A and B are shown apart, each in its own frame.
Chain A
Amino acid sequence: MPSAEELAWLIPVLPLFGAVLTGLGLISFNRTINRLRKPVALLLISCVGAAAALSYSILFNQLNGAPPVEHLFVWASAGSFVLPMGYVVDPLGAVMLALVTTIALLVLVYSHGYMAHDKGYVRFFTYLALFSSSMLGLIISPNLLEIYVFWELVGMCSYLLVGFWYDRDGAAHAAQKAFVVNRVGDFGLLLGILGLFWATGSFDFQGIADGLQNGLTAGTVAPWAALLLCLLVFMGPMAKSAQFPLHVWLPDAMEGPTPISALIHAATMVAAGVFLVARLDPLYAQFPVVQTVIAVVGTITCFLGASIALTQMDLKKGLAYSTVSQLGYMMLAMGCGAPVAGIFHLVTHAFFKAMLFLGSGSVIHAMEEVVGHEPVLAQDMRLMGGLRKKMPVTSITFFIGCIAISGIPPLAGFWSKDEILGQAFNSYPLLWVVGFLTAGMTAFYMFRLYFLTFEGDFRGNDTAMQAQLLTAVGKDPSEHHAHGGSVHESAWPMAAPLAVLAVPSVLIGLLGTPWNSRFAGLLNPEEALEMAEHFSWGEFLPLAGASVAISVAGITLAVLAYALRRIDLGRLVAGRFPAVNAFLANKWYLDVVNEKLFVRGSRKLAREVLEVDAKVVDGVVNLTGLLTLGSGEGLKYLETGRAQFYALIVFAGVIGLVVLFGVIGGPIA
């Protein structure tokens, strides 16, 4: 029997098979398939489940020291150009496979509950399976070009899923924005891949790194060109992993159903950029300048996300900006030359952020019973409060997530974030300061979310506030009908995944303790040994203590402001510094700049080109037509005497030929 590694190609193929089957069914027998909800869900869950089982056995083998496996075949060729595709399984891939399949499986189960009343239930499951397939394909890609293929495919799935509720204008715009912003990143990625292929003749990660090194020493590749290519390739991860300034699509992408926000826009797809940077570590490690750029971009993103999250009133958007911020941490780790730390944070973050998002979905689901299917109301924390007593599982798991992300030991987030901050402290002390402050902000805004949502009194029936919120987005409050039900805990398909995710959120960090990191031992055994050797409590405790202290400070502030209501931050801070408050509430004005500069700018340019096309280019044509035909007589002749006119042209051709021969005949003869 072939080993699990040999069968790794089945991991993306299984969900793809399920997705294609139901997709074809939806096109051919729409009504019948739409009624077969349970069989479809079962089919797709078993496909992803089988992929998960395979992934775990691969991870198990890799933990036991199985060698990496790579299989290639010729996909396209022309001239001397040969392009291989295939799959590769190595420790990094094995970790990601296990992570993605686990979360995808839990999200599928969760969706069974969350989408129960949606008429697009089957379509949703199909898209989810398609996404899982693309994401898993990305992970096992052996070269940059294959990564690009799946990179685009996950982008497409994201487009389809963000625009899932296509009757909503917001979803339509958000989906398009997500795709186009990602294409801006892909523009750089594609050019970078092409350039690296030109410079090195290779698409695979190690081949590119070695080829560029050789090219630089041999002098065939200029240093500036190599730098430029590295930075171009980095544009791809910047867009996909929502790094400043290409992060603008991610918060908007929350228009999609919440399970999607959890799976794609928090745990897996957005981490693909970080994953790619980790894959390209042999390349980036050669260029300290590029690493510094990555670290700075990561730090800016990290701070920006956290600062905007401070003022968000929309529960999902708050979490989205938190994701942006955490992705910034991961990128900072990559820039510090510590891919293991970055991937570790990716893994821990995936578990607790997926749990937080699914928790928020549970809250929104419950809120919809009261305020109706209106995202503006169901997601706004001004209408929540006091949900803890009614939704115990959701509130406890959400609380665990908050502690984990805030970096309180021994939960997962502490270990991974602390490792990144430790690396930053050694490489870029200035960036460490920013990352350190952000850790405090993270703790504050997460507990702000928690207290506003789950503690205090329930505000959901405040019709005045509802009307105010609806008016703010330009909707007519009188047209809206609240359901007027009551909030209750979600059913088991939604509650169970939350409970399952709580376990790794608490425990998984212990795999990466700096004195005995099993995680680093798997990905990079030498580094793990080195870490363990150089570990000293004297270095670890002050830094860790400082991080915990600032997190506790952030939590304390949140408790004082939102649980005990001792201080009024609105008066103290927002009142005194209205500019700062406005700056944050308007998301650093980046959306405004984007809208004014790029969206309107491109529309204006396009209209002008069209004007030129219609008036100048086509104008010349019509003018020529008028001049040659002379008058209305000519036009009439044209309309009635098609065949004659046509013959005339052929005749003119022969005449022209004679003339031509007259002119050039001499030299030929």
Chain B
Amino acid sequence: MFEFAVAGVSEPVQATVPWLSLSILVPIVGALLVPLVPDDGDGKKVRWYALIVTLITFLITVAAYLTGYDPSLSGLQLSERVSWLPDLGLTWAVGADGLSMPLILLTSFITSLACLAAWPVSFKPRLFYFLLLAMDGGQIAVFAVQDMLLFFLAWELELIPVYLLLAIWGGKKRQYAATKFILYTAGSSLFILLAALAMGFFGGGTPSFEYTALAAKDFGTGFQLLCYAGLLIAFGVKLPIVPLHTWLPDAHGEATAPVHMLLAGILLKMGGYALLRFNCELLPAAHSQFAPLLIVLGVVNIIYAALTSFAQRNLKRKIAYSSISHMGFVLIGVGSFSALGTSGAMLQMISHGLIGASLFFLVGATYDRTHTLQLDEMGGIGQKMRIMFALWTVCALASLALPGMSGFVSELMVFAGFATDEAYTLPFRVVICGLAAVGVILTPIYLLSMLREIFFGKEKEELVSHTNLVDAEPREVYIIGCLLVPIIGIGLYPKLMTDSYRSSIEALVNRNLGAMEQVISPTAPLIRGQAPVPAVIQAPAVGAS
């Protein structure tokens, strides 16, 4: 099928060792073997087993990155193709480029830490770890597969474990939250299936769902717009985009800490990844028309969710809304026609994956001690839990984009990329930058208020008398430490991460800029605006390599 390869897209590099298939199959096979693990019912052996499986998976992905992945190439690498159901055009096609490789690493990394975070789980441990491992494989598959039908299957495969993890181990309102989650995500993923089938069958002939084949097709603009809108809803639910976000605070509010880490650390990134993979890469003509909408929605996300987070009195929901707010930067970056901005969006996903996971883990660890999530019932616990206080402070500062940590770099890249993005008119950029920067003020307000209400001040007598506030144990310090290493590493020297996907992003942005030039888009007045043709010709200067 390589005859479909388009100019500008280099041919896939075949994998010598099937690293990616292994990284998907190892956790899934591992999950299926869980019932065979000898266990006394308290989960003490299963948890070691699960931890080892997730660590092996992590090592496989690291090996894939080190041995089979060349960051300087923009095209597909580590590619594997096996014809699966030829009648349906379904192929087992996996591979990784700059868009997927960092997220695959993130997934296996966060999952192994989540496994460690799940240490105290004692209720139905076998089932819990079974689901955790299944989710690991499903999530890696989402990022690794190169076939849209497979993508849909992987997307769905990961929904069921999340649903069950929410519904069985969740909080008091777990049924409501889990149902809401499944309705939202399953309902919206319908659009993925529709779009996949439509795109695969487009143009007649043997249907093919491989990304390379889809990218080679010349969809009409109308068709692209239709598919784009459908996919935007599907991925907008996942990311989430306001107003499709209301499943998230409920789901996050009820999840246990390890599930929480996976939800915030990986699940939300699936939305951002899919936006880049399908909406930007496969539907460039529609993207150039929808991009201003993405930017506006991004700003709405940032401000709306930051304000909601400020007013929340429930700790978990507060952090959940803060996640939504941070995802706004991903939207702005994706909508910008600049390599810098899109790189920033990518980095923001990775960075939030790490920071969000650490904050949610801390929420869980704090809840284990205080047995309440209501800020009004907490206060002054910093005196007994000093190390916990320190960890919270570091993670909150990371979340409010303190320089020296990854969040700052990614937000700065999005800002700088968008501000210098000549595809948009100056007034539009000024307004958007100004509004998005309001988030810079709002984020510390809600995060520092939160710290103040939890840790500062006099100890609440009622809380102290009812609870045993022991300080962080080594396992907890270790988990946060593991998350902080990449957070600070990227913050100090962002090239560590950005170089791993730089060429892919640049190729993507250049294609989009090309597409924007071809499409005369009277319906998108913000692009081009009053600017005559020369402005567009200048445009590639920003992203040109």
Contact = CB atoms under 8 A, between A and B. Distances in A.
Interface of A: 26-28, 30, 74-81, 145, 148-150, 152-153, 156, 159-160, 163, 166-169, 171-173, 175-176, 179-180, 183-184, 186-187, 190-191, 194-195, 197-198, 602-603, 605-607, 609-610, 613, 617-618, 621, 625, 638-639, 642, 646, 649-650, 652-654, 656-657, 660-661, 664, 667-669
B468 interface: no
B353 to A, nearest CB: 19
Nearest to B393: A160
A191 B179 contact: no
Given A187-B438, A194-B419, A669 B452 contact: no
Contacts of B187: 649
Given A76-B494, A78-B343, A195 B419 contact: yes
Interface stretch (B100-108, B272-280, B286-294, B379-387): B379-387
B339 A27 contact: no
B464 interface: no
Nearest to A609: B307
A191 B448 contact: no
B96 to A, nearest CB: 20
Interface string B501-545: 010011001000000000000000000000000000000011111
A79 B543 contact: yes
A194 B433 contact: yes
A27 B390 CA distance: 8
B542 A79 contact: yes
Contacts of B212: none
Nearest to A654: B193
Contacts of B308: 606, 609-610, 613
Range, interface on chain B: 35 or more
Give me the 6 closest cross-chain CB pairs, A-B, nearest first.
Answer: A79-B339, A172-B456, A149-B403, A606-B311, A610-B311, A606-B310
B235 interface: no
A80 B542 contact: yes
B171 interface: no
A657 B409 contact: no
B182 interface: yes
Contacts of B183: 625
Contacts of A160: 393
Contact of B190 (A30, A80, A149, A653): A653
A196 to B, nearest CB: 10
Given A77-B495, A650-B193, A653-B190, A194 B452 contact: no
Of listed B344, B448, B509, residue having the most chain A CB within 10 A: B448
Interface string B216-234: 0000100100100000000
A474 to B, nearest CB: 13
A81 B494 CA distance: 14
B307 A649 contact: no
Contacts of B179: 638-639
Given A642-B163, A652-B190, A656-B194, A80 B544 contact: yes
B304 interface: yes
Interface string B231-266: 000000000001101110000000000000000000
Given A30-B387, A657-B198, 10 more contacts: A78-B340, A81-B339, A152-B408, A172-B457, A194-B416, A197-B419, A606-B307, A618-B246, A646-B182, A669-B204
Given A75-B495, A172-B452, A653 B387 contact: no
A256 B493 CA distance: 33
B402 interface: yes
B205 to A, nearest CB: 12
A485 B343 CA distance: 64
Interface stretch (B16-24, B36-44, B354-362, B439-447): B439-447
Given A76-B498, A194-B433, A652-B190, A156 B397 contact: yes
A166 B340 contact: no
A493 B198 CA distance: 78
Contacts of A148: 403
A652 B191 CA distance: 11
Contacts of A79: 338-340, 343, 506, 509, 542-545
A244 B7 CA distance: 59
Nearest to A635: B179
A193 B182 CA distance: 44
Interface in B419-464: 419-420, 429, 433-434, 437-438, 440-441, 444-446, 448-449, 452, 455-459
Of listed B203, B242, B415, B420, residue having the most chain A CB within 10 A: B420
Contacts of B434: 191
B312 A610 contact: yes
14 contacts: A30-B387, A30-B471, A77-B495, A80-B541, A81-B420, A167-B459, A171-B456, A606-B307, A606-B446, A621-B247, A653-B194, A657-B194, A664-B223, A664-B226
A175 B509 CA distance: 43
Given A79-B544, A171-B456, A617-B243, A661 B201 contact: yes
